[in-house]
Amino acid sequence: MKQEEEERKNNLEKQVIQVLKSKENVVRDMVEKKKGVIVFGLKEKVSTTRKDRVKEDLKVARPIIGEVEDDNTESGEEIEEVFRLGKYQEGKDRPMKIKFKTRVAATRVLEKTWKLAQTEKYKKV
């Protein structure tokens, strides 16, 4: 009888720990998603290696962020990572995801995206 109770208690503890870990992962994922901005309509340079494509994408992302941020911040200093979504196919442009170091930086950029529509270069982005 005592042994059965002990087993139930252990099983219950394991289940609680499992649920807590899964909830923690969900919260972490939500926070990570809010740190990203997806940009459509950017031309993708033809590069042979993934490393070259990442460098080119970073060169493209910095001026865009600089366009929407205030003049007193260095363009792109808050960028953590830049990558394209989907599989690479030559001649096809993929959306670009710009991941920022903080959620605040991503929100600040999203709030000022209206500035892009006022520029000729980024009108269709």
Give the DSSP letter string of 64-108.
HHHHHS-TTS-TTTTEEEEEE-S---TT----EEEEESSHHHHHH
- Would you say the pTM of this structure is higher than 0.85? no
Count how many domains the chain has.
Answer: 2
Confidence at residue 74, expressed as pLDDT on a 0 to 100 scale = 56
Shared domain for 27 and 63, answered yes or no, is no
pLDDT one digit per residue (tens) for the chain, 125 residues:
778 888 888 888 888 888 888 878 777 777 777 888 888 888 887 777 888 888 888 888 888 888 887 655 555 678 888 888 888 887 788 899 999 988 888 888 888 888 887 777 776 77
**In 10 A of CB 61, how many CB atoms?**
22
Please check whether residues 63 and 82 belong to one and the same domain: yes
Strand partners, 84: 96
For residue 105, give its domain range: 36-125
51 and 87 co-located in one domain: yes
Model pLDDT, residue 76:
66
Give pLDDT, residue 71. Answer: 56
Instruction: Looking at the structure, tell me whether residues 73 and 112 fall in a common domain.
Output: yes
